[in-house]
């Protein structure tokens, strides 16, 4: 009980500065998921995953993305704290042979990505690991997460969030 109270006090003091309690819990969830899945070099990408979560949804404050793409159809939007597209989730399921994801209908998969932070983070982290393993550089991997091989603006945004997260020991 004492450990929980100390953790809670620490989280609340951090949230008063830049991040609220919900953001911190979301980011810690993303971090815990990312620590489970190393790339081929044995590196885990928890700082990058948390920074992407901040860049995509401000640490889980927004769950809908790509509203312009949503106008083209629900299958084109991005979902959840890590803004994963349906097509990306299907790709990850194929690459990592996630049988439960392969069996889901599009509606169920979208709903799960929208409502389950752990599930959304797992799909996103596995995708990030795959990008890390198949890209020529870290810059390219981060850029590709946002849909292009060269995306300086997005990369810089992720780097800015990595610095913020390190400042808060996240």
Residue 155's CATH number: 1.10.530
Each residue's pLDDT tens digit, 80-134: 999 999 999 999 999 999 999 999 999 999 999 999 999 999 999 999 999 999 9
Check whether 46 has a pLDDT greater than 50: yes
Please name the residue that has the structure tokens 């610095």. Answer: 163
pLDDT of residue 98: 98
pLDDT of residue 140: 97
Hey, what are 148's tokens?
Answer: 């292009």
Check whether 54 has a pLDDT greater than 70: yes
Each residue's pLDDT tens digit, 60-79: 887 555 555 566 677 778 88
Q: For the chain, what is the domain count?
A: 1
Hey, what are 144's tokens?
Answer: 């590709």
Side by side, the strands of the sheet bearing 84-85 are 64-65, 78-79, 84-85
Considering the entire predicted model, what is its pTM? 0.85
The torsion angles phi and psi of 110, rounded to 5 degrees, stand at: -60, -45
Q: Are 124 and 84 in contact (CB under 8 A)?
A: yes
Q: Are 21 and 170 in contact (CB under 8 A)?
A: no
DSSP output for 31-75: HHHHTT---TTS---HHHHHHHHHHHHTTTT--EE-HHHHTT-GG
Each residue's pLDDT tens digit, 137-154: 999 999 999 988 899 999
Highest mean pLDDT among 14-18, 42-46, 65-69: 42-46
pLDDT of residue 160: 96
Nearest to 146 by CA among 22, 57, 33, 44: 57
SS3 at position 133: helix
Could you tell me the residue range of the domain that residue 121 belongs to? 2-167
């Amino acid at each position: 009980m004492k450990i929980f109270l100390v953790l809670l006090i620490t989280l609340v003091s951090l949230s008063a500065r830049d991040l609220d309690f919900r953001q911190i819990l979301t980011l810690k969830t993303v971090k815990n998921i990312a620590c489970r899945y190393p790339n081929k070099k044995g590196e885990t990408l928890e700082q990058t995953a948390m920074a992407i979560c901040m860049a995509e949804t401000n640490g889980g404050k927004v769950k809908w993305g790509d509203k312009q793409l949503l106008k083209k159809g629900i299958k084109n939007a991005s979902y959840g704290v890590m803004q994963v597209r349906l097509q990306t989730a299907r790709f990850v399921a194929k690459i990592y042979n996630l049988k439960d994801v392969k069996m889901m209908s599009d509606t169920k998969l979208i709903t799960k990505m929208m409502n389950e932070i752990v599930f959304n983070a797992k799909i996103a982290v596995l995708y990030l690991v795959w990008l890390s393993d198949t890209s020529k550089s870290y810059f390219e991997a981060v850029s590709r997460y946002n849909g292009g091989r060269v995306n300086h603006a997005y990369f810089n945004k992720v780097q800015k969030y990595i610095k913020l997260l390190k400042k808060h020991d996240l």
